[in-house]
Amino acid sequence: MQVTAQQLCDLLQGTLEGDPEVSVSAPSKIEEGRPGTISFLGNPKYESYAYTTASSILLVSRDFQPAEPIKSTLIRVDDVYASVAILLDQFGQSQEQEAGVHADAFVDESAEVHTTATVARFAIIEKGAKIGAGTIIYPQVYIGENVTIGENCILFPGVKVYRDCVLGDHCILHSNVVLGSDGFGFAPQADGTFKKVPQLGNVLVENNVEIGANTVIDRATMGSTIIRAGAKLDNLIQIAHNVEIGHNTVMAAQSGVAGSTKVGKNCLIGGQAGLVGHIQLADGTKVQAQSGINKPIKKPGTAVYGSPALAYNDYLRSYAVFRRLPALQQELTELRKKLAELEKKS
């Protein structure tokens, strides 16, 4: 993909300073910029690279005032990071694969694949499955029986979608995501063994959801495990059966949610956080990384920290004391000695 500075400026609704005809074919980091690429300056601590980068085009904020001459053509925009997202999406579209079903893919004759969808080699699509317009299925993806995949989705290599699951429009599933594996359901028996409880539900993922690599979302025992529209899940996350993740909630890597818990909308869940089962988190809840949530959070916008989690500011105050415990113990010991000496004198 070759695009000129003027074309990019028009796309980003920016202001151009320099050669409007200079062209680029890819983005690059400002510290590694090379001719034929576009870089950006979003953080002031990288400003020194603006004067040395070899990038042909440099994206900067409208109020940036260079202290030295800059060789690159400048495009000034209101929001650098928002513009970078647009740019990366533009360059990413140029990498999309050609529509059609590869000869080495297996597609059951009863499956429905839209003519504008892409199914790469060694992908498997079982009977009754439906693949929407513009969706891209990469190699070694498995789509089970009666699965529905919406429009303009991307399923990267190794994704597994078990039977009856439903994926909305504009979703991205990164490599080795598993949707619809059995929930962790076992009934204890009198002899000490465990009998597997059949997991008969499915996973429902709504529109505009992105799920990171190696994340697993279990099917419901009955009904659906639900990921609501706009949610973003990082890599290596475990979502148990009958969980519901709310609209536009974001979860960082290695966090986990136990069965039947309901997470509200616009929540922020930090990395390695754990939520016990059968609780609810109010809208806008913020969970600090490595925290353990063992009870419901009912007040919207609550921030918590610790394991078990406390109110965020309470945890910080408690930690300030906790980290000084050895010194406080020493002070207490010395005070006891002085008190004992005073008692002897009296």
The alpha helices in the chain, defined as continuous H runs, are 5-12, 47-50, 80-93, 312-322, 325-345
Tokens of 60: 């900067």
Distance in angstroms between the alpha carbons of the first and the last residue of the chain: 91
Instruction: Calculate what percentage of the chain has a pLDDT beyond 70.
Output: 99
- Phi and psi angles of residue 35, each rounded to the nearest 5 degrees, phi first: -55, 145
Residues whose CB falls within 8 Å of the CB of residue 176, separated by 6 or more in sequence, listed in order: 158, 159, 160, 213, 214
Measured in whole angstroms, the distance separating CA 161 from the mean position of its chain's CA atoms is 18
Query: Residues with catalytic annotation?
Result: 241
- Asked whether residue 88 carries a pLDDT value surpassing 90, the answer given is no
Give 2-38 pLDDT, tens digit per residue. Answer: 899 999 999 999 999 999 999 999 999 999 999 999 9
Residue 256 C-beta-side C-alpha neighbours within 13 Å: 15
Class in CATH terms, 3-93: alpha beta
Contact call for residues 238 and 221 (beta carbons, < 8 A): no
Contacts of 256-260 spanning 24+ positions with Cβ under 8 A? 259/183, 259/184, 259/185
Give the pLDDT confidence score for residue 341 in this predicted structure.
Answer: 87
Indicate where the chain has its CATH 3.40.1390.10 domain(s).
3-93
- The alpha-carbon radius of gyration of the chain (Å, integer) is 27
Residue type, 272: Q
Indicate where the chain has its CATH 2.160.10.10 domain(s).
100-316
User: CATH code for 100-316?
Assistant: 2.160.10.10
**340 conformational bin, left if phi > 0, alpha if psi -120 to 50, beta if neither:** alpha
Model pTM greater than 0.85? no
The tokens 């465990």 sit on which residue?
194
**In the predicted model, what is the mean pLDDT of the chain?**
95
The overall longest dimension of the chain from CA atoms, in Å, is: 99
Rounded CA separation 47/235 (Å):
32
- Asked whether residue 314 carries a pLDDT value surpassing 90, the answer given is no
Band of pLDDT at residue 113, cut at 50, 70 and 90: very high
Rounded CA separation 147/69 (Å):
57
Band of pLDDT at residue 273, cut at 50, 70 and 90: very high
Contact call for residues 205 and 220 (beta carbons, < 8 A): no
Residue 165 C-beta-side C-alpha neighbours within 13 Å: 29
